[in-house]
Structure 1
Amino acid sequence: MHPPAINGTVSAHLTRSLVAAVAASRTGGLARLPDLGAEVLANDMARVSTSSLLTVWENLVLAEPRTLIGPLILEGAPIGAFGLWDYLATSGPTLRESLAQAVNLIAVIGDPAAEKLVVEEGRGRFTVRHATGSWGPDVVEAVDLFALSLFLTRARWATGRDIVASRVTVTHRPPRRSQELARLFGTDRIHFGAPYNSISFTEDDVRVPLPRAQPGVERILAQHAELVLAASRPVLGWLDRFRAVLTEAFRDGTVSLENVACRLAVSPRTLQRRLAEHDTTWREQTESVRHEHILDLLRSTDLPLRAVAGRVGYSDVRVLRRAVLRWSGKTPGELRKAVAVDRVG
C-alpha cells in the first residue's frame, strides 16, 4: 500500500524524461512552474505534482499533434530512464512476474490516484489494462499510448527479443499516422474505439525465464521500492498541491468539492477541515483559482469570452466581465490589449 501523501504526484524520473522531451521540441512554457526546476528534477526522492506533469504533456502534444509523442519518446528512452520502476518491470524470473510487480508498484513512477492499471490472464494471454485521469482528450490519448508503449518496450528489453503484442486495444480513434503507430508497436493488430486501453502478450512470451534474471533480485527491488515510496516527499506543500489539483479540475471542467477530495484521496469533510487548518475555505480557494485561471486564459489564448466563461463555470459573459473588472480593475478586452502591447514592446 502506497503512502497517501504521494497521491497527486509523480516521480522525478518520469518528469525529468518528459521535460527533456519538451526542451528538445522547443515549445517552452514550463519555467513558471515551481516544482519543475533543475534542483527538483535532480532529486530522485522528489515527487512532482500531477498538475505540473499535465502541463508538460500539454506542451508535448503541441509539439507532436495526434499524440504519437508518447511512443516516440520511448524509442529513445533506455532502461533506467524511469529509475527504479524500470528495473521492477524487467528483473523478475519471468516477464509475467516482472510486469505484474511493475503494475502493483506503479506508484514508484506515476500518480496512484490517476493511473489505473489491472492485470488480466486467460485465453492464452497476459493483458495489462490502463486508464488515466479525465484531462483534455489529446493529453489522455498521449498518456494512454505512452503507458502501453512503456510496457511493450520494457517487455522487449527484459526478454532480449523484439516481441510483438498479441493484441492492443485503444479507446481513441485511429490517428492520422496509424501506420507509424503500427510500426512503433510492431503490429497492425491495434483495435481502436475499444471499451478500454490494453496491451496483451502471449502465454509463451510471458512464462519463458528471462535471460538476465537473478534469483531473489525482484524481492529486493520490491522492498526497496516500498522504502523509496515511504521516504519520498511532494515538492509542494499541502495547500499548493490542493490548488494544483483544483486548477486541474478547472481545466477539465470537473470542479466540485467531492471530485477534488477524491483526487486528493480524502473525504470532502476532511478536505474542508484541512482547508480550515490553513485559514481558508473551499469557496475562497475556488474563487482565487478561478481568478488565476481566467487571467491565464485571457492572457495566453484567443478564446472568445463565451468560451472562457464556460471553462471557469460562469454561464454568462456578463458575469465574467464583472468578475474580471472587480479583480483587476480592467475589462477582459483591456487586459488582452495590454498583453498585446507588452508582446510588441
Structure 2
Amino acid sequence: MNASAIDGTVSAHLARSLVGALASAGRGGPARRPDLAGDVLGNDLARVSTPSLISVWEDLVLTDPRTLIGPLILQKTPIGAFGVWDYLVTTGPTLRESLTGAVDLIAAIGDPAAEKLLVEEDGHHFTVRHATGTWGPDVVQAVDLFALSLFLTRARHASGRDIAPAHVTITHRPPAQARQLARLFGTDRIHFDAPYNSISFREDDVRAPLPAAQPGLDRLLARHAERVLAESRPVPLPWLDRFRTVLAAAFREDALSLAAVAHRLAMSPRTLQRRLAENGTTWRGQVEAVRQKQALELLRTTGLPLRSIADRVGYADVRALRRAVRRWEGSSPREVRGAADPAAG
C-alpha cells in the first residue's frame, strides 16, 4: 500500500456513518459537498477528503455544543459500520492482538496522515494513545473522544463483556457532562488536562481469549484490509472545489494566508493566483465568500453569541460582523437569525 496515496482522506465507511448521524440530527448540509454525495458514500472503495469530513464534524458539534457527540454516535453504530476494520477488532485470538492489528491498519477507516495511534504495554495495562490534526478546539475534542470511545465500544463487542477501562486520559478540560462521559466509559478514572489522550485496558481483559476468534481469520482479514486500501482511490474534485475545500480547512485552522494555502496545494502563491484568475475569481473574493458562508450559517443554525461568531469568521469585533452582514443581506444579524427561526423573534 502506498500510504501517501490516501493521506488526507478517510474511508467512505467513516464518512457515511458521520453524515448519517448528521442527518439524524436534522442537518443535511454535507449533501451539497461533491465528495459527500450519496453515490460517493455508497462506494466502499472511495476515499473522502479529510477537510470535507472535518466540516461534517463541525456541523455535528454545532448541533449541540454541550453534547458528547463522538461517544454518543458510537453507542448507535453497529459492528460492521466501519467495514473490515470493525472485524479486525473482533476476530483475533485475544483483544491484545486484535487491537494491535486495528491500530496498525487505522488507515482502513481514518486518515493515516492525521490520526496518530500508539500502543503501549507495561505488564499491567494495554494502552492505546491517540492524537489528531490541528482542527478547531471543539472539533479536536469531539474527534479525540470519538477515537477513544471507538476502541472501547469495539473491545466490548469483541469480548462480549461490558469491559471498563483501567483509566482514561484526555488532553481537554472536563466537559460539562463529565459524569455522563464517566457513565459511557464505565469508569470514574478519567484524568483531564492530561499530556496525551489514551485508554488503558487491564492485562487480564486483553489476554483473555475472544469468543468469536477463529484460527487465522484475523490474518486473512488483515490481508483483505490491505487489498482494499491498495484499491481505494480519493474522490476526484474539480480544481476550484478542491481549492475551496483547502481554503475552508485553512480558515478553520487559523492558517489563512495565500502562501499557506498555496503550499497545501503544492504550488506557488503566484501560480495559485493565476489559477484563480483562470477560474474567473480572486483570492480576496474567495476568502470573502468563505467568511460569508460560515457567518450566515452560524447565524441561521446556532444560538452562538455574535462575539463568538465574529471570532470564528475572523472579524475583529461585532461591529465588523454587523457591517458585513448588512452588506451581504441588507439586514442585521438579528434579523437574519430571526428570519431563519421565527420563534427567536
What is the TM-score when the length of structure 2 is the normalising length?
Answer: 0.83
Q: Which AA in structure 1 matches 2:86?
A: D
1:184-236 CA deviation, whole Å, 9 max, x = no partner? 10111111111111000111111222121111112211111111111111223
Which of residues 292, 297, 302 in structure 2 aligns to 1:295?
292
**Residue 72 (structure 2) pairs with residue 72 (structure 1):** yes
Is the 1:172–1:192 Cα contact (8 Å) retained in structure 2?
yes
Which runs of 5 or more structure 1 residues have no equivalent in the other structure?
262-267, 325-330
Partner of 2:328 in structure 1? Answer: 335
Is the 2:258–2:269 Cα contact (8 Å) retained in structure 1?
no
**Residue 100 (structure 2) pairs with residue 107 (structure 1):** no
The alpha-carbon distance between structure 1 residues 271 and 301, as it changes in their structure 2 partners (threshold 3 A), is: same
SS of equivalent residue, structure 2 residue 66: helix
Partner of 1:210 in structure 2? Answer: 210
1:161-204 CA deviation, whole Å, 9 max, x = no partner? 11111010011111212111111101111111111110001111
> How big is the shift at 1:245?
2.6
> How big is the shift at 1:45?
1.0
> How far apart in 2 are the matches of 1:220 and 1:294?
48
> How far apart in 1 are the matches of 2:268 and 2:225?
32
> How far apart in 2 are the matches of 1:336 and 1:83?
44
Is the 1:275–1:281 Cα contact (8 Å) retained in structure 2?
no
The alpha-carbon distance between structure 1 residues 273 and 333, as it changes in their structure 2 partners (threshold 3 A), is: closer
Is the 1:49–1:241 Cα contact (8 Å) retained in structure 2?
no
Partner of 2:230 in structure 1? Answer: 230
> How far apart in 2 are the matches of 1:310 and 1:48?
25
Which of residues 272, 279, 283 in structure 1 aligns to 2:267?
272
SS of equivalent residue, structure 1 residue 198: strand
SS of equivalent residue, structure 2 residue 29: coil
The alpha-carbon distance between structure 1 residues 225 and 275, as it changes in their structure 2 partners (threshold 3 A), is: farther
> How far apart in 2 are the matches of 1:39 and 1:257?
33
> How big is the shift at 1:288?
5.3
Partner of 1:156 in structure 2? Answer: 156
What is the TM-score when the length of structure 1 is the normalising length?
Answer: 0.83
The alpha-carbon distance between structure 1 residues 2 and 181, as it changes in their structure 2 partners (threshold 3 A), is: farther
> How far apart in 2 are the matches of 1:149 and 1:305?
33
SS of equivalent residue, structure 1 residue 110: coil
> How far apart in 1 are the matches of 2:256 and 2:309?
16
Which runs of 5 or more structure 2 residues have no equivalent in the other structure?
300-304, 341-345
Is the 1:170–1:194 Cα contact (8 Å) retained in structure 2?
yes
Partner of 1:247 in structure 2? Answer: 248
> How far apart in 1 are the matches of 2:10 and 2:35?
11
Q: Which AA in structure 2 matches 1:133?
A: G
> How big is the shift at 1:305?
9.8
> How big is the shift at 1:318?
12
Q: Which AA in structure 1 matches 2:255?
A: T
> How big is the shift at 1:126?
0.8
- Equivalence map 1:10-159=2 (5 Å): 10-159=10-159
> How far apart in 1 are the matches of 2:81 and 2:173?
30
The alpha-carbon distance between structure 1 residues 26 and 211, as it changes in their structure 2 partners (threshold 3 A), is: same
> How far apart in 2 are the matches of 1:110 and 1:257?
28
Is the 2:14–2:110 Cα contact (8 Å) retained in structure 1?
yes
Partner of 1:328 in structure 2? Answer: none
> How far apart in 1 are the matches of 2:140 and 2:189?
21
Partner of 2:191 in structure 1? Answer: 191
> How far apart in 2 are the matches of 1:305 and 1:171?
26
> How big is the shift at 1:78?
1.3
SS of equivalent residue, structure 1 residue 65: coil
Q: Which AA in structure 1 matches 2:111?
A: D
Q: Which AA in structure 2 matches 1:248?
A: A
The alpha-carbon distance between structure 1 residues 274 and 159, as it changes in their structure 2 partners (threshold 3 A), is: farther
> How big is the shift at 1:319?
11
